[in-house]
Each structure stands twice: as structure tokens, then as C-alpha cells.
Amino acid sequence: MTHQHPESVDVDQAWRDLVGTARRSAADGLVVGTSGNVSARVGELVLVTPSGVPYDRLGPEDAVGVDLAGRQVLGALKPTSELPLHLAVYRFTGAAAVVHTHAVHATAVSTLVTEVPVVHYAAALLGGPVRTAAYARYGTPELAEAMLEALRDRTGCLLANHGTVTYGDTLDQAYERTAQLEWLCRLWLTASSVPGRTPALLDEGQLAEVTQALKGYGQSG
């Protein structure tokens, strides 16, 4: 019987969770083909989906990892082209996971507004009104910089004419925030499409009240 080092077990489990999250994003329609990407941090290692490989083909042997400087230290496959975006989040936040998608409704909204109108208190789950990062080509330092500006005091943002970025303490939390953001954008598009009507929005006080209430939400103990 062979014994694995605890750190390798952590990495193996994190990779399985990452692949599961990536497949979930495809199954839920948040990405098409090989678009979008997912990453998870284990200590000083960042696991990330590889470039151009369908998620259903990824196995345990396909793990890809880089250090926080972006140097590849694990795997033979090339990391996602959006690596600078993921690394920027880890360098400037306490994130343990990042999810980037091309969700249809959220991406549509990114072409229309600089901030997602607060039609629902789900905005509080992302830290407040969600901003749209200025457009820059994918995979560039400029995109990462614009994203960080949009993420100030937030756990998610839109990327203009591109998609979404969310982060969290776990892959599940980061993914949930992506799903909520896509739903929020879909809701606003639906409400704002009614001819002659303008959706009512929550004000700062109402959103702050929800933010406070959410601190005690969920199971205690």
C-alpha cells in the first residue's frame, strides 16, 4: 500500500472539484465549447483549466498548475489563455477559487450598462451593485487590470463584451456567485424588455438592509 503526501491528496481533490465545476458550467449553459475557465488555489499552487481542451475529456492525469507568478509547475497541458485574469484575483484578494464564464445574459448586459441595475437583492451576494470592467482583449494584463478595478469591494463583475468573473472561498461559492449574477442579468433583461415600462430598482438603503440580514443567513452551529 502506498501513502500519498497530504498536500498531493489536497491537490488531487482540488483538481477533481475544479473539473466538476468546469463541467457544471458547461451543463448549465454558462459556457460553450472550451470557452470560460476555472481555477482553484491550494497554498502557493494555482490549479487551472487547460487551454482548448473540452471539460469532458479532462482526467486526473491532466492537472495543470502554476505558481503565483504564472510559472507552470504541474502538468504538460498549456494553461488557459486567461491565466493573467485568474492570477490577478489571487494576488489582490483572499480568493481560493475563481470562475470565468461567457454566460449569455450577463454578457449581453455587459454590452449595455457600466453597472448592473439593482432589480433584486441578489446583488448583495456579490457585495453590491455589479460593475462592468472596461473592454480589453482576452488574456491581456489590461483586462486583468480593468477587472480588478471593477471588483473593488465586490466578489464578481462583468467583463465588457466578454463575460463574467466571480471568486470565493470555495469553488462552490464562486460558482454560486456566477449563477446568481447570470440570473440577476437575465431578470433585468426580462423586466426591461416590457414596452413602456421601467423596472423599479432597490435603493442603497434597501440593499444595505439585505447585506446586513445575509450575515446571519443559513444554518447556525
3-class DSSP state for residue 68?
Answer: coil
Catalytic-labelled residue, pool 82, 142, 145, 176: 82
Distance between CA 178 and CA 155 in Å, rounded? Answer: 10
With residue 157 as reference, give the H or E element that holds it: strand 156-159
Does 82 qualify as catalytic in the annotation? yes
Number of helical (H) and strand (E) elements in the chain, helices listed first: 6, 8
Q: Give every CB contact of residue 102 below 8 A, 6+ residues apart in sequence.
A: 30, 31, 32, 35, 36, 162, 163, 164
Residue type, 59: G
Q: Quick check: 139 and 84 in contact, CB under 8 A?
A: yes
- Give me 62's grid cell: 491532466
Residues assigned a catalytic role: 82
